[in-house]
Structures are given as C-alpha cells and as structure tokens.
Structure 1
Amino acid sequence: MSPDELHSRLLYVLLGFMPETAARLVLRGTLESLKLPSGELSVEVLPRVIHALEPATRHFMHPAQRPRLTLELKELLNAPFRGLPPRPASLPTPVPPPPPSPSPHLGTPLLTRPTVLLIRTEADATTARFTARSLCEELGGKGFECQKVATAVSELVRNQLSYAGGGTLQLQPQRTPRRLLRVLAQDQGPGIPDVALVLSGAYRSKTGLGMGLLGVKRLADRFEVRTGPTGTQVEFEVFL
C-alpha cells in the first residue's frame, strides 16, 4: 500500500469523528511529532502512528467518542489492505468549554468559544502550534501573522514544559469588532522571579528562563503576565 493510500485511510477514520480542518491538523501534527514525512508512511510504521494519534485527538473530540475511534484505528492496523472502515452512524455532540471571563485589560468580550489544550508532552506542544496556526488561517490571517502566532505559542508551551511540567493553553478567535487571536497560557509552576527585569530585556539566565516570555511580548500586539509562587498566567493578542 502506498504512503498516499495509508494517509487517506488514516484521514478517513479521523473524518468520522471531527471536522476536516481538525482531522488534517491532528494527522499532520502527529506525523511531525514522530519526525515522519507523509511520503514515508508504510505498513511497518503504522502501529507507531496509530499509537501517537490516539492521544493527539483528545483536544478535538468528545471523550465518549474515544473508544470507537480506538476500535476503528485498530481495525485499520489489523487489516490495512481491506476496504475502508465504515463511518460512525452517529456521534455525541462535543460539549465545548465555557467561555473565559473577559480580561479588564485586553480587548472586548469575545464572540466565539475557545479551544482549550492540555500541554503535557512534546506532542501536545506540536498540536498547540498547529492549532494556533490553523485558527489564525481560518480568521484570514496572512502568512507572517500566522507565523507570529505559531512562534509565540511555541515559546509559551516550551516554557510550560521546561519550567512548570506543563499547563493549559486557551486559543480564542475574535472576528468583531477586530479580527484577532487571543491566547491564554496557565501553569502551576513556581512562578518567574524578577518578571519585570525579564521583560525589560536586561535579564540573563544560564537556563534561558524568561527569554521565551520576552520573545512572546515582542511578537504580541497586546501582552499581560501574572506570576507568583502558585503559577503563571500569560495572556496576549495578535491582531490580524
């Protein structure tokens, strides 16, 4: 079976559980996390891909759907040369997270519900970066604008993994009165000492602590950070 056929079959299964944009995003992010170009997909590496796909989908589907997705992926693994698996007849409607409380400092109340991602592994970081870029593109952002968003998100989630053991990332698109993407990153780490010094650009750290935060501030159109011994919250907006 050719790499294109395997790619199509994996995408077919995912499309039974999520919109096309999300399905392509999950598959692309999974392959990147495995450092596996789509042209190198083969029956031999299929078990690795399926193993990595299952956790990558958790941000895009209702938990009640996961057992059925796992079953369909295993059917594909056990019989990759047979016909495509049937699509699910009906699926529970995903329950979106509640909208965030608007910040008194950053912009106006938002009109669409956020995407909330749990950051625990490098694969989660890859998913976050691709999700941010995808949302930016859906809002009509230009290439350099979406690259700014993806870079800033990458810096934030890398900080979360390196210094706080992970955290959460909330991506909130806004279409009116101004198109923008708002990002809220939260963790329960030890906080950032001398945050004002870090953001001034004068701080130097052998570990790199704080340098990513300064990069995010420079990329963002609006930026706010709150930090303390119980964790850090970074909120920023990029105008599109």
Structure 2
Amino acid sequence: MSRGSMCADVLRVLQQFMSDTAARLVLRGTLEPLRLSLDSVGAAELPRVIEALEPATRHFVDPARRPQLAAQLRTLTQPAAGAPGASASKAAAAGPALRATTYLVRTEADASHARLAARAMCETMGGRGFECQKVATAVSELARNQISYAGGGTIQLTPEQTPRRLLRVRAEDQGRGIPDLEKVLSGTYRSKTGMGLGLLGVKRLADKFDVRTGPNGTQVDFEVWL
C-alpha cells in the first residue's frame, strides 16, 4: 500500500464519524506535531498516527462511538489479505483474548504498536476505559524505557480469564540493568537522565508488580485486573 493511500484510508474512517471538514482538520492537526504530511505516512508511521488520533477526535465523536472508531482505525495497521504477514495478523486479531502475544520493541513505532495492541486486547477482554488506559500507559512507559536505556526489548501480553480476569504484561530487555532499584521503586531515586521514573509509574498503575534486574538485563512483570 502506498504512503498516500494510507492517509486516504484513515480519512475515510474518520469521515464515517464526523464531517469531511472536521475529518481533514483533525488529520492534518494530528500529522503536523508528528512532522508528517498526508503523503509521508507509511506502515512504520501509521501506528503512531493512529495513537495520536485517539485524543484528537474526542471533541468530534460521540463518546459511545469512540470505541468503534478506535477499532476501525486499528484495523488499518493489519496487513491486507494475501499480503506478507496477513495470516499471522488475522490469527492475532481473531483471538487476542485467548493467547499470549509478544512484540519486539526497537523503535518508537514499535512502542506505539505495542501500546495499541495492549489497549485492544484489554478492550476485547471487556476491560473498562480506565483499566485499558492503565494497561496502555504502562506498556508505553516500559517500551520507551527499553528503547532509551537498553536498545530495545520485548513486550509480552498474556490474557487470563480464570480464576481472575486480568491482563499480564512482561517486559524484557538485555540492557545493563537498573541501578538503585529499591530507591527507584520507593520514589527517592533522582536521576539526571530520568531513568526509573517510568518504572515507578508502572508500579503505581499495576495491581500486581514485580521487577528483576541485573547486569544482563531487566524483566518487569505486572498485572491489571479487569
């Protein structure tokens, strides 16, 4: 799919939920802060654009229709039938509440994709808005930490239905570890680089939280109960 056609598809979805003028205004207003144009959005940039569109559309779309809009926008990130990777994407979309899925995180686009996937899985499981926002925010923080301090990592999303309905997230990297972990988690650690602030935020968002770190990497596990 060409870059220009991707924005055209986004615009067509927006036009189903608002006027043509509003749709074009929202799309252009979303692209400008991202330093993108209608012709420069490709597959790598699309998840980031869709993530930014969610808050941008709130003033134009009825709250009851926002989940439907978000779902339709997310389908644009899935390969078309017959395209490379389409079978895997269809399988993931067909049963996100049934099996664990792991996402490789190397770039900001990867982080955005993992965040959107976490929110979508939470919504599919029946999570409420604030619960899904907690999951998405925590995944975003962990993914960006991986990029900034470990050169990347993986995010695994594992849904559970029994005995308690919850979404479990595991973030792993092979970085140098987190110094002064106890101080970081207590909120008393002060870092010039900001290391650890995101981790403390994830701890506060989680219903269950655990972290293991050392010179060979870091593993963070957390749960949000739905």
Same fold (TM over 0.5): yes
Q: What stretches of structure 2 of length at least 5 have no aligned partner?
A: 14-26, 49-74
1:7 to 3, 9, 30: 9
Secondary structure of the structure 2 residue equivalent to 1:130: helix
How far did residue 129 of structure 1 move?
A: 1.1
Larger Rg: 1
Secondary structure of the structure 1 residue equivalent to 2:168: strand
- What residue in structure 2 maps to residue 208 of structure 1? 194
Inter-partner Cα distance in structure 2 for 1:135 and 1:92: 18
1:107-145: per-residue Cα shift (whole Å, max 9, x none)?
Answer: xxxx83211111111111111111111111111111111
1:190-229: per-residue Cα shift (whole Å, max 9, x none)?
Answer: 1001111211111111111111111101110011101111
1:52-84: per-residue Cα shift (whole Å, max 9, x none)?
Answer: 369999x967xx942xx8xxxxxxxxxxxxxxx
CA contact (8 A) 1:96 1:113 kept: no
- What residue in structure 2 maps to residue 168 of structure 1? 154
TM-score normalized by the length of structure 2: 0.65
Q: Alignment identity in percent? A: 59
- What residue in structure 1 maps to residue 114 of structure 2? 128
- Indicate the RMSD between aligned Cα atoms, in angstroms: 3.7
1:55-134 correspondence to structure 2 within 5 Å: 65-66=83-84, 112-134=98-120
Q: What stretches of structure 1 of length at least 5 have no aligned partner?
A: 12-31, 70-90, 98-110
1:36 to 31, 34, 41: 31
Inter-partner Cα distance in structure 1 for 2:219 and 2:120: 23
Runs (4+) of structure 1 moved beyond 2 Å?
3-6, 8-11, 34-37, 48-57, 91-97
Work out the number of aligned pairs and report it. Answer: 174
**Are 2:213 and 1:227 aligned?**
yes
TM-score normalized by the length of structure 1: 0.61
